[in-house]
Amino acid sequence: PKTVLPARPSAIIFDFDGVILDSAEIKAQAFAEIYSEKGEEWAAFILDYQRKHGGVSRREKFKHFDKTMLGQEPTEERLSFLSQRFTDIVFKKVLSAPFIPGARSLLDAARGPSRLFVVSGTPHGELVEIVRQRDL
C-alpha cells in the first residue's frame, strides 16, 4: 500500500539501521565476528551491548570492547584497523539488506515536498555511498 503523509513537514530526520534498512543485526553480528577469537562467552555481551547502543559510533564501541575484554585502551592504529575490518564485513551485506516494512513507501511519499535527512552512527562517507548505491 502507498503511504500518504497527512501533512507535509518541511523536513524529516531518520535514523538509518533498523529504521530504513533492516541492517542493525548485520552490524551487531559483525562486532561479534571481529571479537570471535576471544571466545563464545563474549558474544552475548557484545550482541547485547550493540543492541542497546545502536546509535553510538563503531569507534566508541571498539574502545569499550577493547577496554572491557582486553583491559586496554586501543591505539588510533587499532581503531582504524577494527573500523576497516567492520566495513569489510558489513558493507556488501547492508547494500543487499531489505527495507524495513513501509520505509521505502514513506521515503517515496516524502521525497519532494519534504527535505529528508539521516542521522546515523555510520561514518558519513560510508553512509553516503550506501544511500547512493541503494538509490535513496
Residue-by-residue pLDDT tens, the chain, 136 positions: 677 766 778 899 999 999 999 998 999 999 999 999 887 888 899 999 988 887 788 999 999 999 999 999 999 999 999 999 999 999 999 999 999 999 999 998 888 878 999 988 888 999 999 999 998 8
Task: Please state the pTM of the whole predicted model.
Answer: 0.78
The pLDDT of residue 125:
92
Domain map (residue ranges) of the chain: 1-22+98-136, 24-96
pLDDT number for residue 1: 65
Q: How many residues does the chain have?
A: 136
| pLDDT value of position 80 | 96
- Which string of b and e fits 68-105 if b means at least 16 CB within 10 Å? eeeeeebeeeebeebbeebbebbeeebeebebbeebbe
Cα dihedral sign, 52-96-89-12: negative
Residue with cell 531518520: 14
pLDDT computed for residue 83 by the predictor: 95
User: What is residue 81's predicted lDDT score, i.e. its pLDDT?
Assistant: 96
Bridge partners, 116 (sequence order): 12
pLDDT score at 56: 85
